Structure 1
Amino acid sequence: MSAATSVPPTEPSTLSALVHRAAAQRPGATAVIDGPQRLTWAQLARAVDEAAAALAGFGYARGDRIALQAPTSADFVTVYLGALRAGLVLVPVNPAYTVAELRHILADSGARMLITDSVAAIESASELTGELPALTDVVVVAPDAPEGTRTLAGLLASGRGAPPVSRDLSGDELAVLLYTSGTSGRPKGAMLSVAALLANLRQFGRLEPAPVSAEDRLFLPLPLFHVFGLNAGLGLALYYGATVVLAARFDAAWMLDTIAAEQVSVVIGAPLEFAVWAAQPSFTESFSSVRYALSGSAPLLPELVSRYAEVGVGLFEGYGLTEASPVISVNLVPSAQDPRGWLEPKAGSIGRPLPGVEVRLTDADGEPVEPGDLGTVEVRGANLFSGYWPDGRDGPDADGWFATGDLAVADDDGDLYLVGRRNDLILVNGFNVYPAEVEAVLQRSPGVREVAVLGLAGADGTEEVVAYVVIEPGTQLDPEELLEQAAGSLARFKLPRRVIEVDALPHTATGKVMKWRLRSASGGAGKPEVPGR
């Protein structure tokens, strides 16, 4: 490994300072590639400063929230870092969200500004500002701004030539408010501080050998409105001063062409993306420059890990969650014997905790379990969130431990294997789907008597939403019509992939649906085998 792979000698205390550090060290090196658009570190630093000045011009108070509902782009990067430099908290929002879902987040967060490229949201701008007292400004990611809004291009241009602003959020101040499904089925905001986000990057930076260097080109086909893309992807590139290659659209052929053309050396993605790429004719050639790949958000199929090994690419797996900023563990296990510096990844394992992250598996009484026994994953570290908005409820306990609700076992080497989740949360390509929310929407449809929603493994190994529906006597079920009605209230990724009509649902004596019976009848996957046991 070259000297450039070592952790940077200085440790900035703010996220925007990562950009300015790289700009001071390598001003002419490429920082961001977004299709034909390229920004050097000097240009990115200037763009961040201009975005900060533009946002500061609105006169918001320190800690006020701005919601950003937009796809991955260079502008997303500058708005994110510019907001933090202006002392404002970013609220990333999935562009696929309906207006109803967006309205909940805006109301709950008290966002002062909405930046959006959603046609439905833009059309509802006056309605939203009328309903939500805190929301005073709507900025559209579009060439023209409807009445009562302004364009993002115009906003960013207003910061050029303005006096520099340096009000960076730092330490335990809230930086990002990321909405994730909770036990109620309604999204709730996980409060991620500057310190927590930086801590996770430093924890990654303590891996030996270092996973990224300033010479690397990191391909990021992940949404920046998700914590995986925002901090484990973009944040990691910023921390090491590596070039980040953004991909906003899922086009397998175009992505592989981009990986080849940009001579990408590190790829961070989700299992579905890795599976689709591996099936393309140009896969082997396109990945010839890639040193290794890192997957997260859902379990990897062992066959996929083997397929990448065939072309000389180690496909490693990590585990994390929004509340941990997000990475908890990764199966990048150091090896002095392997020329790459890491052992071959164990199929099915999420590896070991990052340096500085503690993990324990506990039983129902909160006591540690023996190796090989099933336990709830609890985590402790400086990367943990500050609880849920607005009062910090349900955060780490008095000793700093946070129970994730995930179930896992550990082998004799200490490597972890996820088995399932204690609650019913469904993970669709890394995005949380809570059955209660989907069930409530489907239940409103005429003729539907009862609904049970759960996640089942699809043909490609990823989890998909499945709805079991009991209809009223004398009615007929039209799955397409049911989904069409639900699409008005649910994002596309939350919609069931399968709708199954049943005569009745299995219930307990107290009337609760026994979803484990439905899962068993559907051939739901059991827990994975742990090697050596």
Structure 2
Amino acid sequence: MPIFRYPELPVDGLLRLAARRDPAACAVRTAHGLRTFAELDARADRFAAYLEHALGRRGARVGVANTLDEDFAAAYYGTLRSGNTVVLLNPLVRAAGLRHVCEDAAVETAFVPTATAEQLVKMADRLPLLRAVVVTDAPDGIVPCDALPLSVALDSAPPAPPRPRAAFDPDTEACVQFTTGTTGRPKGVRLTHRNLVANAAQTAAAHRLDADAVTLNHLPLYQPMHLNSAVYAGACQVLCPCPRPAAALDLADRTGATHLYTLPARLHQLAADLRFAEGPAGAGLPDPLPGRPGRLTVVLSGGSALAPADARLLGERLGVPVLQGYGMAELSPLTHSQRPDGVTGTGSVGAPVPGTECRVVDPGTGVPLGPGETGEVQVRGPQLMAGYLGEGGPPVAEGGWFSTGDVGRTGPDGQLFLVDRLDDVFSYDSELVSPTAVEAVVAADPRVEDCVVVGWPDPVHGAVVWLGIVLADPTAPGLLDVLDSIVEGANARLAPHEQIRRVEVLDAVPRSPTGKPERRSLRRGLRRRAAAEAGA
């Protein structure tokens, strides 16, 4: 594999470098205006000065809520510049999850929006290490008791710039990001400066980012991958907090966006709207559907699987490739991406990003498998985490390979095709069943709005397919006949071990903030019900 080179500098050095290279260039654009790289760099200095003053030392962990706001970028780089570690606080999680993160990571100061600050203040007696809560969005300075408005906090810091580092080690901890917890309690992933800088360079190379690029961030949260890669490239970032796909396309057109980052669920909604618009009436849509934004060159999706049919339809209608990527918190996070000059809608998550190696192994023996053979995906590269909180170094196989827990196969050209999570796959007799493979067949039926598959415990076969389904028209007459017809049509295209044996109508599929089905909670409920049925 060719040698992949990336700069050995602290993560906040990416911003400092961008500010020196082109200080007047746009770094972040929001509904309130734009901030140049020089302005963002200066604001990061203010955050750093406040933390040096408030903490009086380096090496602490600072919670930063990754809201889709320019102050996340300033707090993120400012925390790192002050010699402390960023702990990402998801503002969408409930109180119990927030407490778990703050306890496990020993958070001492937190920069959070008002709603999150209220939760932290209420549990302050159970978080003895938390010394300060700073509210980043306080209207007119109104904040919860025992919290500080951001403006007051920053004004309390001395005007001097932060002290320079005495020495820099790229392998020191920079960020702690907690896993989604879909297969267990969320774990703190320790990422180093090397991990994050390398992945910024890898992402920028894979996505073809440069100083002329304008990236539109249409995600519910501000992820460091998108922030770091754009700053590394000197690209402008446009933040779009509105969840409506049509609004994102309109903003992309008005701001000259070249790269649009969004979620598969939002692309699915847009594809569904496009299909509806092609019908006889073409009316009743929540938004008018704009055409392709003028400078747009690519749409990029990640976090969960994007249906190939959606990618193909959107690619045709927008006239640009709609691409899928793959990664996880433990890998900073990106490891694979389809390339902008590739083919849309193949079902692949792409080839490894520069400096990354991937292989598929037999999950029982660890023996590497050839192209087309299905097994567990393993990855290695400079973006591999330092380890989990409290667990030392990362769990790796011989040769430094990290086992992802995902099941997949590679094509002859190195493209990776994911099948499922190792924990989500279940056995019917001796055959493995992939829930996502069954879901893809069911979802192709236009009467299905959404669906999820989990294994229902079975004393004879091990487990059978249970299907939870959200109907596109739940008020249609003959509900049982509709369900029977959907299941019959799907089973006709499924292998014997994949046959749907149980089906239920759901109001909605439970999903994580990134759009992944919450199979773990569904499995718990089904096990209880299966046990109750067996004992009846």
Normalising to structure 1: TM-score of the pair? 0.74
Match of 1:391 in 2: 391
Q: How does 1:176-325 map to 2 (within 5 A)?
A: 176-181=175-180, 185-207=184-206, 211-224=208-221, 229-231=223-225, 233-278=226-271, 279=273, 282-310=288-316, 311-325=318-332
Deviation at 1:59, TM superposition (A): 2.4
Check conservation: 1:410, 1:417, Cα contact below 8 A: yes
CA distance in 2, matches of 1:268, 1:219: 6
- Structure 1 CA distance for aligned equivalents of residues 73 and 329 of structure 2: 19
In structure 1, what is the equivalent of residue 476 of structure 2? none
Match of 1:79, as an amino acid? A
- Cα gap change, 1:180 to 1:422, in 2 (>3 Å): same
Count of paired positions? 441
Match of 2:278 in 1: none
- Say which SS state the counterpart of residue 291 (structure 2) adopts: helix
d(CA) in 2 for partners of 1:251 and 1:157?
Answer: 37
Q: Which moved further from structure 2: 53-62 or 314-323?
A: 53-62
> Hey, what's the Cα distance between the residues in 1 that align with 2:183 and 2:313?
40
Q: How far apart, in 1, do the equivalents of 2:190 and 2:304 lie?
A: 23
- TM value normalised by structure 2: 0.74
Unaligned stretches of 5+ residues in structure 2: 275-286, 426-434, 458-505
Give deviations 1:237-284, integer Å, cap 9, x for gaps: 011000001123313343222111101111122212223344366545
| Residues 100 and 346 of structure 1, relative CA distance in 2, 3 Å threshold | closer
Q: Is the 8 A contact 1:220 1:245 kept in 2?
A: yes
CA 1:50–1:416: 2 relative to 1, 3 Å? same
With 169-178 and 403-412 compared, the bigger mean Cα shift is at 169-178
Find the counterpart in structure 2 of residue 131 from structure 1. 126
Structure 1 residue matching 2:196: 3-state secondary structure: helix
5+ long unaligned stretches in structure 1: 1-8, 333-339, 426-453, 470-482, 512-533
Query: Is residue 366 of structure 1 aligned with residue 361 of structure 2?
Result: no
**Is the alpha carbon distance of 1:184 and 1:133 closer, same or farther for their aligned partners in structure 2, counting shifts above 3 Å?**
farther
Structure 2 residue matching 1:288: 3-state secondary structure: coil
TM-superposition CA deviations, 1:182-214 (whole Å, max 9, x none): 58721110111110111112233555xx71110
| DSSP 3-state at the match of 1:75 | helix
CA contact (8 A) 1:388 1:395 kept: no
Q: Which amino acid aligns with 1:135?
A: L
1:237 aligns to what SS in structure 2? helix
CA separation in 2, counterparts of 1:356 and 1:421?
Answer: 24
SS of alignment partner, residue 68 of structure 2: coil
Q: Which residue of 1 aligns with 2:479?
A: none
With over 3 angstroms needed to count, the CA separation of the structure-2 counterparts of 1:369 and 1:111, relative to structure 1, is same
Q: 2 CA distance for matches of 1:153 and 1:466?
A: 49
- The aligned runs of 1:408-447 (5 Å cut-off) are 408-424=408-424
What's 2:334 paired with?
Answer: 327
Deviations 1:20-65 (A, max 9, x none): 2121121111110021221011111111111111111112532211
Query: How far apart in 1 are the matches of 2:129 and 2:358?
Result: 40
Please name the residue that 1:35 is paired with.
31
Evaluate the alpha carbon distance shift between residue 26 and residue 160 of structure 1 in structure 2; reply closer, same or farther with a 3 A threshold.
Answer: farther
How far off is 1:412 after superposition?
Answer: 2.4
Q: Secondary structure at the match of 1:153?
A: helix
Determine the C-alpha separation between the residues in 1 that align with 2:106 and 2:301: 34
Residues 264 and 304, structure 2, Cα contact 8 Å, conserved in 1: yes
Classify the secondary structure of the residue corresponding to 2:396. coil
Identity %: 31
Match of 2:19 in 1: 23
| 2:53 is equivalent to residue 57 of structure 1 | yes
Partner of 2:279: none
SS at match of 2:230: helix
CA distance in 1, matches of 2:243, 2:21: 34
Partner Cα distance (2:321, 2:26) in 1: 26
Measure how far apart 1:289 and its partner are. 2.1
**Counterpart for residue 175 of structure 1:** 174
Counterpart residue identity of residue 147, structure 1: C
How far has the Cα of 1:418 moved from its partner?
A: 0.3
Whole-angstrom CA distance in 1 between matches of 2:353 and 2:421: 21
Distance (Å, rounded) in 1 between the aligned partners of 2:128 and 2:66: 23
